[in-house]
Amino acid sequence: KASKFRKEANELYLKLADSYCTKQRKSTSQMFASAQKQKDAAKKKKLLQDAIAPLDKCLTEYPDNPQKQKVIENKQFLENELRK
């Protein structure tokens, strides 16, 4: 019985992690869109830095989440944008 409950709990945990990281990626996406519209370079840089924070939250809260690779790719993309 314990293994059945463990399996169920693990499935719910993964669902929660996936949902949480989807929300964080959406937040990042909205911040990135705002940064792209920003003409002021300093403000744009700040928005890009702020956009990375939700991705870090996802990786910190759920290090083994189902979207881990995508989150890492999104973060790397933003870091490359910061270097421009």
> How confident is the model over 4-60, as pLDDT tens digits?
899 999 999 999 999 999 999 999 999 999 999 999 999 999 999 999 999 999 999
Of 45, 46, 53, nearest in space to 27 by CA: 53
Predicted confidence at residue 3, as pLDDT, reads: 85
Of 28, 38, 39, nearest in space to 79 by CA: 28
- Yes or no: say if 55 and 71 are a contact pair by the CB < 8 Å rule: yes
Of 83, 66, 52, nearest in space to 15 by CA: 66
